[in-house]
Structure 1
Amino acid sequence: MKQILLILLLSIQMQPLRAKTITVGKNKSVGTIKTAIDRAMNGDTVLVYPGIYKEKGLIVDKKICLIGIDYPVVDGENKYENISIKYPGVLVQGFKVINSGVSSIEDFAGIKIYNTRDVIVRNNKLDNTFFGIYSQYGTNCTFENNEIRAYKLEEQQSGNGIHCWKSDSMRIIGNKISGHRDGIYFEFVTRSLIWRNDSQKNLRYGLHFMFSNQDAYVSNIFKNNGAGVAVMFSNHVKMFNNHFEENWGDAAYGILLKEISDSHIEKNRFVKNTIGIYMEGVSRLQMKKNSFERNGWAMKIQASCMDITVSSNNFLGNTFDVGTNGSLVLNTFNGNYWDKYEGYDLNKNRIGDIPYRPVSMYSVIVEKNPPAMMLFRSFMTSLLDKTEKVLPSLTPENLKDIYPLMKPLRL
């Protein structure tokens, strides 16, 4: 008899507790989201119906699915952090999160993850929040298909749309971000993916990397941001198939690369930027199959850069193709198409018979004396460039493409 009772007891303990659904804002349901969270157990779902919920900061400290129906509004009243997640495995989906608190001391966010993992934040609308979605020591979290907007006019008044700090294995997918200081910000983030996001009209950078290694950003749009994209003090970063457009200004770039190494830039498109790519202190970088179209400078490579390989790229309609501030060049240009190339192809192998020097004398003069830009397209500047091609004196002797292509690549 004792054995039968023991078997029955063990079988009951082994059966999983049935997860329940708690509804908020509907007949025969609880009245607040906070009450529903307090009543929920691990594995439960809190289903929130339309309404405006002002609850002075929600804390999710158990493994639940927090799901909104037709975008119920969670209002921070410009005082509080809207939703704080402090437990692994939480799902937050389908909410409109508005009016978080603003502070120069605390990083208030619409949705913030604290020291946890496996969190999913999906299909939410965040409007007028200080930081949008914030990960602090997050691991293996997914931020997907969220719309994040802010409206401040100065950087000091706005945080970042998606902010990840000391996080690992993050997935930032399909989000639309505008109006923040930086659209997406990574600091000390490793082994993470930024994919198919649209980051436009942010006050500073569309994407900002700091001390983040072994990451990739793929198939994103960065358009009309204050200064484009910055990747700094990082290594083993993959930058594939992104679109950089209309990042204009005195210090604006498609991409600013500073002190990075062992990285790849491939199949990206740079259109109408002040500078397509600006590089300083960059080493062991592979650039291929990119298209530079109608930029001020397609690229600027400072003398501090080395072991950069630029191959199989198209340079079309740029004011200047390449600029540099030194005469010693330790980088390789090979097999690119340059629309300013005036050489010939006698053996018909589609490769120019004479090298192309992408740094013009006039670009060197402008680099040292910016007011000389007033002489652009004048007869004098054309004469200087023609003379320099015959008798090189100012332009770097070894910065040349030995095998320039006669026709643009299909990229």
Structure 2
Amino acid sequence: MANSDKTIAIAGAGIAGLTLAIALAKFGFRVVVAEKQTVPSEYGAGLQISPNARRVLNMLGLDENFAANSFAPEAIDIYPHNAEKPINSVQLGAFASQRYNGIPYAVAHRADLLNCLYRAAKKFANIDMHFGVEDIDTTPAANGVSIILKDQRGTPYPVTARALIGADGVRSPTRINHVNGQAPKFTGYIAWRTLMPLTHLDAHLSTIHTSLFWGPDYHVVVYPLPHQQRANVALFTRHSRKNVSREDEIALDPNRISIKKNNILSAFLDSFYDQFTLWPLFGVNCETWYKGNIALIGDAAHAMLPFQAQGAAMGMEDAGLLAVLLAGEANNAKAFAQYQKLRKPRVDKVQQQSAKNGKIFHMRPPKAWARDFVVARQSPDAQLKRLDWIYAHDPFEGMLDKSNTA
């Protein structure tokens, strides 16, 4: 029987869960990962990995692997509603890398990052991954938790662990069943996502820049994925219903929003509207991230709107710091309390910034005119300066020496 003091169970093999698994394995823990999906799978489309999240990948030794499967755009071009040219371009590329000590701002497909993490996790003999787990039965045990994993046939797999970490996403059973957390709430926003051939953008947008379009009832983010020869497109709209699920039969009707009045967007989106996938956006407001020997990370603790592109990044920061704390403190209560104390104020601030961005992106005249006036006159580096508190952050709070993860 493995030493339960050095065993950590993780519910969820998504980005946050696998990041935590690798970090813990590097500290010598035995890690048992339980995932409901039968194969590694990351839904959605693209994501942005800003320098604060990249620091975690770098400390795990995954810098080169991720670099080969991602792209560092040179800038973010900002287009107001129906503008033919961007009113400003936020500097990224070499400028951002130099600003953040050689760490770039990158974009990727979610599957690219997940595959990078999964391949890395498979190399560790002390990471035990179980897919197709239908149920996680948890009861308190001496100095930890007693867990029984069950697959679709009900076959049990017992685990005695020091702690269970819920990295099981926005609808987290761990949060609801074990930490007394609430169900997620619909934010009123819907994301419509698709991928298109990169060549389809050539005549309309820069294929080395990210593009951001603002409208009174929509906004659109487009960024290139040259390693896949595709581009990620995410369209965000509001919805009047109090609740929406992915099972609802809601079709994207561009004629019901003002996006059809945007000539540039119409030029490359008109033939793609039937290929967009519905993604209702839910939020999680969890005041307490742990109870007993069970804790939460990532979306399970703080799912947020994607309008600051920090959802995955916050989960990766959670994972990196929690691994350090569990390795340095044998008492779960102390480790979890310190984890929440260090992480929650920052995550709350990022959540608030993301929600604020949604309001800014969807402004109507005359507020939209004032917004555009201010943005057009900003220096190209003003955005990074304003967001240094996010991007320049040390996810390990200065507690981790590189030699610990060699």
Q: What TM-score bracket applies, with the shorter chain setting the length?
A: under 0.3
Q: Structure 1 length as normaliser, TM-score?
A: 0.21
Query: Higher Cα Rg: structure 1 or 2?
Result: 1
Greater relative contact order (Cα < 8 A, sep 6+)? 2
Q: Structure 1 or 2: larger strand share?
A: 1
Q: Structure 2 length as normaliser, TM-score?
A: 0.21
Q: Structure 1 or 2: larger helix share?
A: 2
